[in-house]
Amino acid sequence: MRALLEVSGINKHFGGLHALRNVSFSIAPAEIVGILGPNGAGKTTLYNLLTGFIPPDSGSIIFDGRDLRGLAPYRIAGLGISRTFQLCRPFVGMTVFENVIVGGLGVRARGDADLEAHGLALLDQVGLAGKERLQVEALSYGDQRRLEIARALAAKPALLLLDEPFAGLGSGEIADLSALIRRVHAEQGLTVMLIEHKLREFMRLVGRVIALDFGEVIAEGSPEDIVRHPAVIEAYIGRGDEQGQADAA
């Protein structure tokens, strides 16, 4: 089976900082893959490269057979990659429903015969049914996280990039959102990449982990293998990262 995403030899500098160093990996269709690493490892920089927010210095990014280098973010979204962000970024001054509709205005979803019905169905899917007419500012933080996912799904992606979707959520909210991600993956055959620092739920959710440290891939494998990998243990525990130890426990 051909990989949906192939990243080969990606490098990115910011001045004297080598943010990503010869990063290579591939993602198969319908996988749930986790991107793991301490703060500053290069995870969000990787997402920004994949979605065209910043260009790589070298290397290639092939998505569904198409080279993404040089394409604007809206072009990449039109090819089938959607993302969420570490911080919720709703369109303030608009309703919950309007936020989702904006996500469906791209090329892949534009031909939908009933965009309104699609938007309402997505809100129901993520647990926001009945809140579609609320101003987005009225949503709780947990509901804003759900809205981020609904807006990303409105573009009808083949690959969904989630950047710390559990950040700021309580344990019950994390369990509910994790169940939502599993359900979307199963029902739509969606390919998912996930960055997350809540390691316990992260490891339960993903099928494979790519670990980064100082911009390099230091390990790749199943969650069971990754938590025992010496380089990963060094990256998290060897530096006295007390939060990493607490989350992994």
More reliable by pLDDT, 115 or 139:
139
Same domain for 98 and 206, yes or no, is: no
* Host domain of residue 116: 92-155
Same domain for 40 and 125, yes or no, is: no
Q: Does residue 87 belong to any structural domain of this protein?
A: no
The pLDDT tens digits of the residues spanning 9-26 come to 999 999 999 999 999 999
Q: Does residue 20 belong to any structural domain of this protein?
A: yes
Same domain for 217 and 193, yes or no, is: yes
Same domain for 106 and 124, yes or no, is: yes
Last residue of a domain, one of 106, 135, 155: 155
Range 116-128 average pLDDT: 92
Q: The tokens of 143 are what?
A: 């509901």
Task: Supply the pLDDT for residue 197.
Answer: 87
Same domain for 239 and 189, yes or no, is: yes
As for how many domains the chain has, the answer is 2
The pLDDT tens digits of the residues spanning 215-232 come to 999 999 999 999 999 999
Last residue of a domain, one of 103, 131, 155: 155
Q: Does residue 151 belong to any structural domain of this protein?
A: yes
Same domain for 215 and 232, yes or no, is: yes
The pLDDT tens digits of the residues spanning 61-91 come to 999 999 999 999 999 999 999 999 988 889 9
Q: Does residue 86 belong to any structural domain of this protein?
A: no
Q: Does residue 25 belong to any structural domain of this protein?
A: yes
Same domain for 115 and 18, yes or no, is: no
Same domain for 170 and 47, yes or no, is: yes
> Is the pLDDT at 131 greater than 60, yes or no?
yes
